[in-house]
Amino acid sequence: MMKGRHGIVFFLLLVGAAAMSCTSERSFDFGAPPKPPGPTFAEPEAGPLPELDAGMCISYDCPAPYVTCAGKPGQCTSNLQTDIANCGACGNACTFGDAGGDDTAALYCVAGKCSIQCKAYYGDCNQRYGDGCEASLLDDPNHCGSCGVACQDGEICWRGACGCPPGYTQCGTDCSPTVRDPLNCGACGIQCAFPDEDAGADAWPCGVGGRPPNFGPSCVSSSCSLGCGNGYADCNQNLCSDGCETNITNDPKNCGECGNACLPQQACVKGRCECEDPSLTYCDQCVNLLTDPLNCGACGRVCPGNVSWGANPIGSPVCRLGRCSYQCPPGRADCDLRIENGCEVETMTDPVNCGGCGVQCDNDAGQPCAAGQCLTKPCEVPDAGVVF
C-alpha cells in the first residue's frame, strides 16, 4: 500500500515538474506584459491604447511600399511610392540638379517615379523633368499655349496664342491696339505728341504750351489728338483749371465714364462696377470675408501661416466663418499647435504620433509605424511537441 502511494506521489511530482517546465518555457516568450500596438487610424486620439490581442506581437517587417532607408530616422519611414528623397528605391532622390527647374516646376514622387507639376503658363515640352518646365507657353512660338503648338514663320506668340487678336496689330514682339495706342496710333511706330508751339493757339485748348494735369497726346479712332489720358476724364468741365481730375477706373461716382455711379454695395474696379453680390466686400477686389484667408473677417486681415506648394505640402491657412485656422493635408498633422511651422508631423510614419497626434507605438521596443498604424504580427508559438 505504501509502495502504491509512493508511486502516486512520484507520478504527481513528475507531472508537476513537467508543468513547471512548460510554464517556464511559455514565460520565456510571453511572460513580459503585453505592449500596446497603437490604435486604428479611424480613432487616432481615442485615449489609452488597448493591449495587444492574444497571440499578437510587435512586427518589424515593413509592409510595402514602406521601407527603412538610410538618412531617414526610424523604421519603415520611407514610402517608396511618394517619398521624393527615396522614389522607387532608397537613395533615388528626385532633383533638378544644376538645371534650375525649380523656378518653373515642383517635383513629386508619384507611383515610385519622379515627376513634376508645372507652374502656371509653363510646360515640360521636352519631357525631361531634370530641367523643369522649360517652355514659356505665353510667348514661345514653338509651344504657344501648349506643348507642340507652333506659330507660323514671322508670327509671334502673344499671351498664349499665335498672332494678334482682332483689334490688335503686331508691332515687333508685341500686339498693339493701334486704334487707341498713343505709341502706335493707326500703325506701328506712329507716336502721338504735343503740337509745336508755333502751331497757333487753335492747336492748344488752354493756350500755347498749356498742359493741364492728366491731359496730353492721345489716340482716338487711330488718329492723334489732345485729350485726357487713359483712365481720366474732365467730369467737372473745367479742363484748364484742374485738368482731367477724375480717375474713372476707380471712382464709384464716375465709374468708366462721368456720371456713372455704382450702387452702395459696389466698387469701381478698372472702370466697372463690381461686387453686385451683397455677400461680397470690396478689398482691392471683391472678396468673401467669411472664407478669404487674405481678408478674414475684415479687409487686410491675413491668416498666419505659410502656404506650401510642391512635393511635401505642410498645410495652408484657411478662413472659416471669418476666423483664421490652419488646414493640414492628408497624412500630416499640426501636433505642436504652432502654425508657423505648419503641419510638422507625418502621421503615416511617426511612431510618436502614429495615425494621430499623441498616439505612440512601443518606442522602447522600437515598434515601427507604417500607414498610420503600429505594426503587429502573430506571435511565434513554441512547438507543442517539445518533450521535457
Top-confidence range, 1-10, 33-42, 350-359: 350-359
Q: pLDDT per residue over 54-100, tens digit each? A: 577 888 888 889 999 988 888 888 899 888 899 999 999 988 877 66
Q: pLDDT per residue over 302-330, tens digit each? A: 988 766 655 456 788 889 888 888 888 88
Q: pLDDT per residue over 190-230, tens digit each? A: 999 988 877 777 788 888 888 899 998 988 899 998 888 87
Rounded Cα gap, residues 110 and 163, in angstroms: 37
- Cα dihedral 19→22→26→31 (10° resolution): 40
Q: At residue 42, does pLDDT exceed 60?
A: no
Rounded Cα gap, residues 384 and 233, in angstroms: 100
Q: At residue 150, does pLDDT exceed 90?
A: yes
Q: What mean pLDDT comes out for the span 116-124?
A: 87
Q: What is the pLDDT of residue 279?
A: 79
Q: At residue 27, does pLDDT exceed 60?
A: no
Q: What is the pLDDT of residue 385?
A: 55
Helix (H), strand (E) at residue 109: strand 105-110
Q: What is the pLDDT of residue 291?
A: 92
Q: For the chain, give the mean pLDDT.
A: 79
Q: 268 versus 174: which is more confidently predicted?
A: 174
Q: 65: cis peptide before it, omega within 30°?
A: yes
Domain boundaries defined on the chain? 78-162, 164-240, 245-276
Q: At residue 142, does pLDDT exceed 90?
A: yes
What does the block give as the cell for 93?
A: 532622390
Q: What is the pLDDT of residue 382?
A: 64
Q: At residue 353, does pLDDT exceed 80?
A: yes
Q: At residue 40, does pLDDT exceed 80?
A: no
**What contacts 151, CB < 8 A, 6 or more positions away?**
141, 142, 144, 157, 162, 163
Q: Are 106 and 119 in contact (CB under 8 A)?
A: yes
**What contacts 14, CB < 8 A, 6 or more positions away?**
none
Q: Are 314 and 344 in contact (CB under 8 A)?
A: yes
Q: At residue 276, does pLDDT exceed 80?
A: no
Q: What mean pLDDT comes out for the span 135-161?
A: 94
Q: What mean pLDDT comes out for the span 153-165?
A: 93
With cut-offs at 50, 70 and 90, classify the pLDDT of residue 36: very low
Q: What is the pLDDT of residue 308?
A: 60
